[in-house]
Structures are given as C-alpha cells and as structure tokens.
Structure 1
Amino acid sequence: MVKIGVFSDTHIGRSVPKAIGELRREAFKKAFTQAINIFIQEKVDYVIHCGDVFEKETMMPSDSIFVKNEFQKLIDYLGKDVKIFVIRGNHDGTTINNALNYIEHPLAKYFKIVGEKTLEGKIEFYEEANFVLTGMGYTPYPIYKFKTVKENIKEALKNSKAPYKILLLHAFIDGHHDLPLGIPAHQKISIKELRNLGANLIILGHNHTRKNEKIDDEIFLTPGSTEYYDLAEKEPHGVYILELNNKEKLQFKNIEPMHIIEAIKINSEGTVKDSAWFITQALKEFENCIKKIERLNKKGIVRLILKGLINEDKYELENKLQMHLAKNKSIIHLEIENQLKELSNLSQTIPITTKEEFLKILFEPLGAEALAEALNLIEDIEACLEEAGSQRSGLLKDLDRKKFVKKWIEILGVKS
C-alpha cells in the first residue's frame, strides 16, 4: 500500500489585508505546519502539492526558508525515501522566475518540481511504487497550451504498467470545479479534454474549494486551500490522505484556522433605506458574530457586505460603521464591502474587457493554431519582461526583443 499526503494553494508569504499583513502571513505558515504535521502523523510515503506554494509578490526570504525547513522536518521524521512532488502555480512565479527554485537543493533528491518540462514540449514522468505521475505547470492560457502538450502527456502515461496514473494540473476545470460566471474560456480546461488521457487520478490546484468526485474510472481531486486566501472563502480547509492499494481510499483532514472569519450581509432588498437603518441592522448581526467568536476563544476578522439602495452618502455610512464596530477587542480587522447604490447616483455600468479577452478578440482571425501560438508567445514575453526588462525603461534589450519579433513574423505569416 502507498499513502500520499495531498495539499495545494498554501500561499506562504501572503500578507493581505495589509492592515493585518503580518498576522495573515503567520496564519498561512501555521496552516502549512499543520499540514506537514498531519502527513507526519499519517506516515505518508509521498507528498503532492498542486501549486501556489508561495505568494511570490509579497513573500520574504524567511518564507522560503520556512517552507524548506518544514519539508526537511517531514523527511527527518519519515525518512529519506519519502518524495515530494510539486507543480508551479500562478502565484509561484513564471517559468523563468519560479519561486519553487528557492526551495530546491542539489542534495534534496526527495524534492521534485513537476510540469515544467511538459510546458517545454518534452515527455516528463515519474515512475514510483504503484503509480506513474506527470503534470503541467501553470500557464495563463491553459486551454491552448494543454492542446499542444496533450499527446506528450498521453505518451508519458501510456508506457507505464503502474495501476495508478496521476496527472497534476494547476488550472480551473470546467465540469469539475464550481466556477463563478465571467471566467474567460481560455482560462479553463474542459473536463472532456482530460478524458481518455490514460490518467485515472487527476489532482488539481488553483480552485480553493475542496472537491473530489469519481466519473467513470477517473478520480478528480481538488484539495482546496489550507487557509483563507481571501475573506470570502468558506471553511473547512485542510489536506487529503490518499491510500493506493487494490482500491483507492480518500480521507479529508481539517486544518484549524488561526482566526475566525465571519461574513455579515446587510441588504435593503431593493428598498431605499437611510444610514440609521443600515447601522441598526449591522449592530444586531455584529453582536451575534462577536458571541460566536468569543465562544471559540479566538480573534476574529469580520467581513461586512452592504447591498441595496441608500438615500445618503454611502461612504459616510462606511465611516460611521467603522466607528461603531471596529473597537471590539475580539476583532482584529473589519473589512467593509460597500456595494450600496446611492439613489442620486444610479447609472448603468459599462463592462470592461479584460486583457485576456482583448487579446483573444485581437488574434482570433489568425485561426486556432496561430491564436494558441500568439497567446503562448505573449506569456513568454511577459515572463521575459519580468526577468530581464530594463529597470529604467521596463523594455527588453535588442537581443531579447529580436527573437520575439522573429516569432511574431512567423505567427502572422509575414514574408520577409
């Protein structure tokens, strides 16, 4: 029997909201430590992390040292035969500026970054006791990139005689994840694309809500995040213990959050109200919220959502609510999400086209294959700008720019 500890989206280094940034940084670390301790208690043979180990934009050097030490602790307790497989998520950086490289070490043979070679068009796999594993690291245009590497993934899995064939992805999967409206089509992979690959266990990061389901002979497993990435997420957070024997067995293990996060919704339900009404309703709900937090003997973070119509200045109401509610010692942070509409300022909002949608519209006339190449090239350019752009101008050097110009000419079919 093989036992695997599975987790994802740990976001070490995240420090949002800024007002309590260091407390939130500590909360993500405590969740990570709990995950490692669970894996030690369960005596796992392998660990899989499905992306977003770090929050690269706000992480500090001490955050990478922390993760390295936690993984080393696991090895010290369980032995050097344990292996850790990790794929790069969008918050871990780019292919050429990858935060996962901070925790690599030539002597740490147990640590494997999966999926980068796949993105390069190479066949990549790891053959283990009773499973073979492959994956694809994060790309901002997964549907196009996946189609270009799909055959290599099939090839990686096809030649193995292992009973379990594992695919790791950090992407939204349409048909498995419960996705909100508005996610562009190119940012998600259809579940149909993952069928008939030869994988019978598909483990996914990127979506923070845990879910596991079996469709025919394929298991789709999303472990979710280990801590509240934003204040809108819901409990529980945790990790999975996956046992692979003659039959697979899954157990979810809770991670206890450092803080209690509560949401209060005040909605005038389409009727016009004054600030006094909103304050009265908020105080009533806030009192119930405080009782719950104090009963659990923890500190709380409260998210107050205001909806409906108001006949006064909605920002003045926000200031009054901060004065009334933010003084309680049990609350370390109050976040007000002000969605109110002022009666005197009702207007239609014009939808804004995202960068990704604009690029898709711009390059669609080139055809599907050229569109995929163009979007992948843009991803490469963005990565190169981040890594090698001039600090003064933000532009690329002539040598770097020249190779991209050449690729654009090929994609656009321009004859020299």
Structure 2
Amino acid sequence: MARWLPAALCALGVVLDFATPRDVSVSAPFAAAPLAAAAFLGLRGTVLTGILSSGATILFSVFHDSGNVLEAEARSITIVTVSVLAVGVNYVLLRSGSRLASARSIAEAVQYAVLPTPPSHVGALSVATRYRAAQAEARIGGDFYAAEETPYGVRLLLGDVRGKGLDAVAAVVLLVGAFREAAEREATLPGVAARLDRALQRDAHRLQGAARLEDFSTAVLVEVVDPSTQPPNPPAPGASPTTPEAPGAAGGGQGSAAAENRAAEEQVVLRVLNRGHPAPVLLHRGRAALLEPTTPALPLGMTDLAVSPQQVDEFAFPPGAQLLLYTDGLSEARNPEGDFYQPAERLSRASFADPEKLLAAVLVDVAAHTGGRSADDMALLAVARDAPGDTSRDA
C-alpha cells in the first residue's frame, strides 16, 4: 500500500488546490510526493512522480492560482528542486539496497556452508533443525549444531560461541569441523569434548588482549546408542555416570524372546555431556523433563582456568521419545513482564508427531511468549526415536 502513497499525495494536492480559493496555494502534497516515491518506488517511478508534481505545480501557478507571480515561481522552483533531489536519493538508496542484498546473500551462503542442514534421518533417528537470528537481516551468528552417525552411535552437538560477527563465525567453523572429525575417532564423549577444547585453545593464540581470554563456547554433546550393540563408552576419570537399568527380564523362561525384544527396544540410552549449556528437554508421552547435568562443567575453551570433571550422564530414550537441544536464545527469551521462557514447562502435556512439528510449535510458542521480539540468536535441534512399527519415515 505504501507504493500508492506518491500518487495519493499528488491527487490530494490537486483536490486541495481546486477546493481552496484561487489566492490560496497548497504545495505541501506536491513536495512530499517525490520524497515518498524515492523511499517506496524505483527510479522510473520517482522520476515520473517528480515530473507529475512539478508539472501540476507549474500548471496551477499559471492557469489557476491568482497569487503573487514571484511566489508562484518560487513555489515551482522549490518543487522541481525537491523532485531532482528525490531522484538522487532514490538512486543512492537503490545502490545501497543492492549492496545490502548482495551482502545478505553472501552471509546466507556462508551460514549454510558453516551449518548445513542435517539430513532428516541420521541413523535410526528423525532429525530437525532451526536457526533464527535475533534480527531478520542477520544471517550469521555464534549458535551452531551438528549431527553425525558414527561407529559409536549417533552423536549430536549444539552450542553457543561467545560473541558475534566474524570472530564468532570463525569459532563456529572451527568447532563444527573439529566435532565431525572427533566424533568419528574418539570412543568417548569426554574425548570428543577434549578435542574441541584443544581446538579453541589453539584458536585463542591468534587473538589479542581480553578476546584471548574470552574465546569459549557453551555446548552440549549427546550420544544416542544401544549399549548391547555398541562398544562401551566409559566416563572420564573421576566421573561416575548413572546408567539406568535396562527394562526387561534378567532370566529365561517362556516368552523370553519377546522379553528380549522389548528390552532391546527400551535399552537405547542418551549419553549427555554438558559443558555449561542449557539442559536439553526430553519429551515422552506428554511429559517434558530437563536433563540437568549431575556435575556442572566449564564451557569449552576454559580448561586453562580450572580442571573441570567431565560428567557423562545417561538417560533412557524409549521408543517415541523426542529430545530438544537449544541455545539460550530460547531459554532466555522474555515476555513483556520479564519472565523467562521455560521450555520444559511450556512443552509439558503436549505431544508432537515428529521433530519438525515440535520445532514449529516451539517457534510459534516462543514468539507468542515474547510478543514477537527476540534479543538473541536461537538454534534448535530435535531428534526422535520412531515407535516400533512406525512407518512415518517412509511416508
């Protein structure tokens, strides 16, 4: 509708000039029309609007208005000058817009190169991701995620690098690349995290001053594995992860095959290593629970400050369950009253057919919570186990 504003202003100027006495001249709408065209129209539209405004002013001065001749000439010169300036402003805006569009497309390409969208299925898991920048124009941030199928199970990474801009992007590239290599080679999650630590520490040497001490990232690493078919994943020295007993009968007897099948279905577990990041949310049968770490740990890149135990916690991951990983852009989103968004509380008593629907619902819900305002970037990663007999993957 804004594109019609220049024409509406010209029409208003004509109506007002005819509606007022001949010794009264109304030139403000004619002066405003070219400026509005410069903001909302292209170069051709701005030129045509300037010609129309200038021509109408000159015609009214010559054939309709009966005021002072000098005033009429001054008014006409003013409108012509404003029209010429509007054309110049429009040209500058178009060039700036073209450059900005080019920069955005490059930034978007960089973002997709840094954070390629994982496939919809990784191993036996359904996967969905979302990245939302705090500003629609900003395509690059410090939030990141990755999902890899490895000999040790499906491994997930989601984190948030300190800072913004190119330094943050460089750290994201470093961490995602290091994770993809370490996930294939390291037998344990603490080993993967140690590789990420070393990568950030090496990267810190290129920085100067305070930035060198602030090159860190919060992160959560997750491994989805069936212990009966995968090599053991021992905890880091000094850690004692709590492993739930796999449901199922320990002894033989009638129906032992069915019991073993049920036990195999239920014994898939989540191994979670949290390095100073918001706790993931596990959803199952309308219940949502935060997977809080048993022992808090420092973020990646801060091991020079203190020796932090790397506690690997294990949680059951039954069929049909879904896991939501997110950055603090979600958990620190505030409503107008200043209340934080509570993912587990907001998602309790809700069920979702697949991770895509889960993330779509989360984005709608957090937008409703904040009134559409966003103060930080947000990265979301959701995975799900398909229930036995579920054929939705092939649908």
Q: Please, what TM-score do these two structures have when normalized by structure 2?
A: 0.24
Q: Please, what TM-score do these two structures have when normalized by structure 1?
A: 0.23
Query: Between Structure 1 and Structure 2, whose CA radius of gyration is higher?
Result: 2
**Which structure features the higher share of helix residues?**
2
Structure with more relative contact order (C-alpha pairs < 8 Å, separation 6 or more)? 2
